Amino acid sequence: MLRMLLALGAGGLFGAGLMLSGMTDTAKVQGWLDIFGNWDPTLAFVMGGALLPMALAWRLTEGRRPAAGGSFPAPPKAELDRRLILGSVLFGAGWGLAGLCPGPAIASLSYNGWEGALFFTAMACGMLAAPALSRHLDRAAANA
């Protein structure tokens, strides 16, 4: 029960941060990505405000266990492979076209009407199809 309450609080705080920072405003996100046009650099502060504490959190959790039980995830691998590059390209293309990524897409379900629901549905279908597509690409690469 404690884990669920902590997760609810963390998710609510994360969603509020997304709303407050403008990450759910598709025009603001697309303005950030439009570096050769009417560029809006304000989201750099949002990203820095997320990356710096997270880098510190990775350091502070080494050798510790979460207060609510379980374990912290291992740090991500530092290698560039085909899956990471392809995933990054697809993520960036979707983010640039729609102005939403998974966190803000979930947060925007509460106010973005049918367009938000449509984007979320398409995003969820892509997430569900990704493992099968990944296995197919891995088999194709192994046979090449």
**Residue 133 binned pLDDT confidence (cut-offs 50, 70, 90):** confident
pLDDT tens sequence across 55-88: 888 888 888 888 777 888 877 778 888 888 888 8
The total number of residues written for the chain in this structure: 144
Per-residue pLDDT, 78: 81
Cβ neighbourhood burial of 2 (10 Å; 0-12, 13-18, 19+): exposed
Per-residue pLDDT, 125: 92
Per-residue pLDDT, 104: 85
- Mean pLDDT estimate for the chain: 85
Per-residue pLDDT, 9: 93
Tokens of 133: 């597509």
What are the extents of the domains in the chain? 2-143
**Residue 21 binned pLDDT confidence (cut-offs 50, 70, 90):** confident
Per-residue pLDDT, 75: 74
Q: Is 25 in a helix, a strand, or coil?
A: coil
